[in-house]
Structure 1
Amino acid sequence: MLVSRQNLRIKYVRRLHQKKFRDSEGKFLIEGIRFLEEAINANWPLEAVFYEPSLESGDRGRLLLGNLSKSGAALIAVDKLLFSEIADTESPQGILAVAKKPLEFDFNPVEWSKAQRDLLVLVDGVRDPGNLGTIIRSADAAGADCVFILKGTVDPYNTKTLRSTMGSIFHIPIINVDDRRGFLTGLLAGGWKLVVGDPAAQKLLCHADLTRDTVLVIGSEASGVSADLHKDAGSLVKIPMPGRAESLNAGVAAGIMLYETVRQRMAAGRIIARP
């Protein structure tokens, strides 16, 4: 059982709380019983699992550790006090794991359109981890094909973001966009339509055609989407708000836009579920 803060494995876990180190290593941390159960169900590659020995005293904990052992991940017992220092939550459940980030892949907008993988979410400048996690979770629930993250957005592998996804991080591809201009140029050349939410827009969301090759663009609450995305937008739309609230947070707005898309596609007889 690990008891020292100076242990190299413990130091490695500590460093994975930093985005720069996560990026360089291609790893991230997941924490909690339910989150680890989701990872197993998704056959997600786990490198090492750190747990408090007390976890073995409960049926659910023993079952989880047994399944993790079968997955090939290294199981490492950690002293309770030391575990509380490497965990990110205020009330740790006594288990966390080092997981591998998914491999990047080439996005071909033309081929995806032909295959009817035609609903994307593009996140621009959302800084709140809870909002980004909600966007990812909503995109997963609505059957979106991918969530693309532009620079200036909070890291999707931030532990607070991960918890907010409620496991959806394992179900839908999350891709960081490095070449912003090249990515947008490829989308437009491939016939995709950027649908940008803007409270000042004239068109209502429900009046935009969201049935094919749609990219829902979600900006930050503070400043909305960037100027270049406004310029490239195929539709500027607003969510009707007959009440007195001035705005919606980014996570809620994304959910509304996604489910208007689902509604339109169901009405058009489209199969919306991802395989």
Structure 2
Amino acid sequence: MIQNRGDGAPGQVKEVTSLANPLVKDIKALSLKKFRDQQNAFMAEGLKLVIDALDLGWSIRTLVFAKSARGNPAVEKVAARTVAAGGTVLEVSEKVLTAITRRDNPQAVVGVFAQKLMPLKGISPGEGDVWVALDRVRDPGNLGTIIRTADAVGAKGVILVGETTDPFSLETVRATMGSIFAVPVAKASQEAFLAWRKGFSGLVAGTHLKGAVDYRTVDFGAQPVLLVMGNEQQGLTDELAAGCDRLLRIPQAGRADSLNLAVATGVMLFEIRRAALKLDGDSRS
């Protein structure tokens, strides 16, 4: 049942205890890409993530919080911000929150936000900028971790090339630990990406098993860098490999002949940004 705390007007807090409630059904449906695309929306769990998203200007549609969080000053403040933004606030039972998040021990706060992608044509790399392009990334954990790592090194954004996993899936958003709100994401077909790449003014570097250059020997300098990483199983397509200025390799000494995509991307990003990160670290010490 829904019991309106107030007159039920938009922005009022609604108490929801039934899994059959239409609002709950709509939010639960966001676990499926089909419905995320239809609603142009996605879920993010955790009070900190919701606050970060609001601070970064993301549009909140619905705030869901557990009854146990009632009276928490931080939750009350976020609820007020949601109402001010024209969103809906739902106070729900533990059963409803568990169903929405598909977790036995869910976070006390969940936000539903409008999706936001950066258009490829809106990317204009400047001096020292780093962008990551991912070819057909399939694993949401990998994608989320890469977005989080891109955030950590100060990369400007991530470009998804071809058919990739959804950056707004619950699993991906969880793996980003909130960085989905800080790191711009663009999507493009391989053809559109290669056409855009022709106008890229800096170094386009890809990792490849056939790469002849040790990644540690490259002077990335202050120029814009576009790092192109391949699919987990197949690596880069021939077309994307041909579109790189340099094909690099990460030497390995053990029996494994390849690295996990997120690990390899992290290794590359920290190497590309090493000089800048060192300068930043020195300035803080």
1:42 and 2:53 aligned: no
**Partner of 2:194 in structure 1?**
184
Residue 122 in structure 1 maps to residue 163 in structure 2: no
Residue 10 (structure 2) aligns with: none
> What residue number does 2:7 align with?
none
* Residues 143-174 of structure 1, C-alpha deviations (whole Å, 9 max, x = no match): 11110112222111111111111111111101
Deviation at 1:193, TM superposition (A): 3.2
| 3-state secondary structure, aligned to 2:25 | helix
The aligned runs of 1:13-162 (5 Å cut-off) are: 13-56=27-70, 61-71=72-82, 72=84, 73-102=87-116, 104-108=118-122, 112-113=124-125, 115-116=126-127, 118-162=129-173
Query: Structure 1: which 5+ residue stretches go unaligned?
Result: 271-275
TM-aligned CA distance change 1:117 to 1:44, over 3 Å: farther
- 2:179 aligned to 146, 168, 175, which one? 168
**C-alpha distance in 1, partners of 2:229/2:193?**
16
Output the CA distance in 1 between the equivalents of 2:134 and 2:236.
Answer: 9
Alignment-derived partner of residue 12 in structure 1: 26
Q: Partners in 2 of 1:164 and 1:189 — Cα distance?
A: 32
Which residue in the other structure is 2:241 paired with? Answer: 230
**Which region of structure 1 is more displaced relative to structure 2, 139-148 or 82-91?**
82-91
Deviant stretches of 4+, over 6 Å: none
* Cα separation, 2, equivalents of 1:63 and 1:119: 35
1:206 to 191, 212, 216: 216
Tell whether the 8 Å contact from 2:206 to 2:244 is kept in structure 1 after alignment.
yes
CA distance 1:124–1:132, shift in 2 (3 Å): same
**Root-mean-square deviation (Å):** 2.4
CA contact (8 A) 2:140 2:165 kept: yes
- Distance across 2 between alignment mates of 1:136 and 1:181: 23
Letter in 1 for 2:153: A
TM-score of the superposition, structure 1-length normalised? 0.86
C-alpha distance in 1, partners of 2:139/2:97? 26
Judge conservation of contact 1:40–1:68 (CA < 8 Å) in 2.
no
- 3-state SS of the aligned residue for 1:152? coil
Secondary structure of the equivalent of 1:96?
Answer: strand
8 Å CA contact 1:117, 1:145 repeated in 2? no
* 1:2-25 deviation digits (Å, cap 9, x = unpaired): 122332211111221111221232
Structure 1 pair 43/156, CA: closer, same or farther in 2 (3 Å)? same
Give the conservation status (yes or no) of the 8 Å contact 1:88–1:159.
Answer: no
Change (3 A) 1:121 1:106: closer
Deviation at 1:42, TM superposition (A): 2.6
Work out which of the residue numbers 238, 247, 251 in structure 2 matches 1:240. Answer: 251
Query: Unpaired runs of 5+ in structure 2?
Result: 1-14, 281-285
2-side partners of 1:39 and 1:265: how far apart? 27
Following superposition, the deviation at residue 220 of structure 1 comes to 2.5
CA deviation digits over 1:38-77, x for unaligned, max 9?
32343422111112211226xxx44223233234332111
Deviations 1:214-243 (A, max 9, x none): 111122331112221112111110112233
* Deviation of 1:191 (Å): 3.3
What CA distance in whole angstroms lies between the structure 1 residues aligned with 2:118 and 2:243?
25
Q: Distance in 1 between matches of 2:117 and 2:165?
A: 20
Matched, 1:263 2:277: no
Q: CA deviation at 1:194?
A: 2.4
Residues 153-209 of structure 1 show CA distances to partners (whole Å, capped at 9, x for unaligned) of 2111111111111111111101121x4312212212333432111133111112234
Percent of aligned pairs with the same amino acid: 30
What TM-score does the superposition give when structure 2 sets the normalisation length? 0.83
1:218 aligns with 2:262: no
Q: Supply the distance in 2 between the matched residues of 1:149 and 1:103 (Cα, whole angstroms).
A: 11
